Structure 1
Amino acid sequence: MRTLKYLFNYTSAVKHVWVNYDPGVPTADANNEGWMRFGASSSYQNLRTMLHEMNHTFGTGTISWWTGTAISGGKYQPTNANLILQQINNNATAQLSGDSQHWWPYGLNQNAEVSSSWDYVYNCLIIEAMRKDGLPAAGTYNP
């Protein structure tokens, strides 16, 4: 599975995930306990959606650390993920944006956000940096 290739190559995260098909789910969803559901729409049954939902199993938008520590004023506050974004974008002032559930850029929130396979790599690198920042549901950071 290509999703695992990206996660194994660009993160040290380990998570047991239960993937389910549920035609009642309009798109896809996941929680930090590792439950992931995909609906009947084939437009969401893809690598982009899988990586995006993996972010939720790791804790983005699904745990109190996200809204209580990471996101404030619509911006991601911890240091490491923003440093990675700055390197990716070659912009010393770049900062991740976020809300109660999602983050961007490279959060893979919509199919239109993917322009190349590098977007998947960047997503994983940012998740790894979020783990270094303390994203607890993604397990202990091990460089």
Structure 2
Amino acid sequence: MKLSLLAVFAASVSVAQSAITWTLDKAANPTSDQIEAYEKIEATMKAAVARHAKLGTASKSVTVKYTPGVPTAEAGVSGVLRFGSDRAFMDERTALHEIAHKLGVGLTTAFNSLCSSGDWKTALPLLKSWDGDDAKISCGGQHIWPYGLNHDTEWSETNADRHIQIIYQCHDCQWHVNLGFVFQCIVYIVNICWMFPYWAASALALRRACGHSSGWLETYTASA
């Protein structure tokens, strides 16, 4: 039972650690404007998160709000992702662009250092595989290009997919990706330690049945 419970827990955590989840903060008694905005934002976020689920492995919990005072949309590594009242920016391109900021693009010292050094060890080779040996990653104003989805003119299905693939290769974003892997390792180690006493007892019984010396297993099980 202990093993099965831990396995269920590990499986549940595994799902949570490899997905971007989001919650839209809604008014208790929304106006017609808010209702319309909520519908558009929900459709937008569902599309963006589904694309991340298909191509990425980041874990991030995002709170989303409709804030009419915001000119377009905005987000930081921490805090809220806000959509303004302009419906033109309630689209998947904008959502993907803001999620990239949530994952660290353009907003951390480490990321800015990479922009300055150009030392994109994995992202640049990927970009060159698409755009040729002369391709380079550029940064400015908290943005990255190509494939930063900074403007509507950059949108296409291919560019959206490449946007996600590029940001997951940025060293600055790797901690989001690697946290899930580290947690998986911790769960695996805990699982082994949890079951070791049962394994030791079974091995001891088998050695006794076969007439072999139990050695350190005898000492271990006696003290466990």
Normalised TM-score (structure 1): 0.86
**Residue of structure 1 equivalent to 2:176:** 138
SS at match of 2:106: coil
Unaligned runs of 5+ in 2: 1-45, 182-224
What count of residue pairs does the alignment treat as equivalent? 135
**Residue of structure 1 equivalent to 2:63:** 18
Q: Would the aligned equivalents of 2:73 and 2:84 in 1 still touch at CA under 8 Å?
A: yes
Q: Would the aligned equivalents of 1:32 and 1:59 in 2 still touch at CA under 8 Å?
A: yes
Q: Give the number of the structure with larger relative contact order, counting CA–CA contacts within 8 Å between residues 6 or more apart.
A: 1
1:122 aligns with 2:162: yes
**Residue of structure 2 equivalent to 1:101:** 142
**Residue of structure 2 equivalent to 1:70:** 114
| Residues 86 and 34 of structure 1, relative CA distance in 2, 3 Å threshold | farther
Q: Give the Cα–Cα distance (whole angstroms) in 1 for the partners of residues 154 and 110 of structure 2.
A: 25
| Residues 88 and 57 of structure 1, relative CA distance in 2, 3 Å threshold | same
Provide, for residues 28-79 of structure 1, a one-character-per-residue CA deviation record: whole Å limited to 9, x for no partner.
Answer: 0001015200100011100000000000000011111122x21117xx4321
Normalised TM-score (structure 2): 0.57
Report the aligned-residue RMSD.
1.7
Q: Would the aligned equivalents of 2:111 and 2:172 in 1 still touch at CA under 8 Å?
A: no
Greater fraction of residues in helix:
2
Q: Give the Cα–Cα distance (whole angstroms) in 1 for the partners of residues 62 and 122 of structure 2.
A: 26
Q: Would the aligned equivalents of 2:63 and 2:79 in 1 still touch at CA under 8 Å?
A: yes
Provide, for residues 54-111 of structure 1, a one-character-per-residue CA deviation record: whole Å limited to 9, x for no partner.
Answer: 00000011111122x21117xx43211111111121x023111112400001000011
Aligned-residue sequence identity (percent) comes to 30
